[in-house]
């Protein structure tokens, strides 16, 4: 079942790249007393994710911060790929969750089958607004789209 508005975010141990360092932190601790835009993408360095989705958030990050929101990306990639993607994209002020085993993505009910592209199970493209661990909204893209989860769409929502 897919996570929905007003649901509590699941309790899991996260591997999060914060300020250039990979950290293990529980989701309740990470989300406590914070407003976060959580953005799910199918994969680091994939064309839409790397050339459009992440850059939109990098370019608009100060606008999110001005509204007291931080931005976090999640992808089904290992921590080393996530670190390289962050460095390559100059996304150092955006936290990134490395969901290498697809555990969190599965628990959120947001997996997609990328087997046709040699990618196996991946994360659907989405944007979720979370306030103190409670989902305020979730926008899930149709396959191949990047509209409702864009930085501009989420800025208009908050």
Helix (H, G, I), strand (E, B) or coil at 122: strand
- For 147, half-sphere exposure in the C-beta direction (CA atoms, 13 angstrom radius) is 5
pLDDT at 13: 96
- Per-residue model confidence (pLDDT) at position 118: 67
DSSP letter, residue 55? H
Is 108:73 a contact under the CB 8 Å cutoff? no
| Contact status, residue 102 vs residue 92, Cβ threshold 8 Å | no
pLDDT at site 86: 95
pLDDT at 121: 83
Res 9: pLDDT: 97
Three-state DSSP class for 147?
A: coil
Residue 94: the pLDDT is 97
Q: Give percent of the chain with pLDDT exceeding 70.
A: 97
Q: Which residues of the chain have pLDDT under 50?
A: none
* Candidate list 49, 71, 128, 151, residue with the active-site label: 49
- Is 102 marked active-site? no
85-111 residues labelled b (16+ CB within 10 A) or e (exposed): bbeebebeebbbbbbeeeebbebbebb
- pLDDT score recorded for residue 120: 67
Q: What is the CATH number of domain 13-157?
A: 3.40.30.10
pLDDT in tens, 23-54: 999 999 999 999 999 999 998 987 677 667 89
What's the confidence (pLDDT) of residue 155?
A: 96
pLDDT at 98: 97
């Amino acid at each position: 079942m897919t996570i929905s508005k007003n649901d509590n975010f699941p309790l899991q141990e996260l591997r999060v790249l914060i300020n250039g360092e990979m950290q293990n932190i529980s989701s309740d601790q990470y989300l406590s007393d914070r407003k976060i835009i959580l953005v799910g993408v199918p994969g680091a360095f994939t064309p839409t994710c790397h050339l459009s989705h992440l850059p939109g958030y990098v370019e608009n990050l100060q606008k999110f911060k001005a509204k007291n929101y931080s931005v976090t990306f999640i992808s089904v990639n290992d921590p080393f790929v996530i670190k390289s993607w962050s460095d390559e994209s100059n996304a150092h002020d955006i936290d990134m969750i490395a969901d290498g085993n697809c555990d969190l993505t599965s628990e959120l009910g947001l997996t997609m089958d990328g087997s046709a592209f040699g990618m196996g199970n991946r994360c659907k493209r989405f944007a979720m607004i979370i306030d103190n661990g409670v989902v305020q909204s979730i926008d899930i893209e149709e396959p191949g789209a990047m509209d409702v989860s864009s930085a501009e769409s989420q800025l208009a929502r908050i």
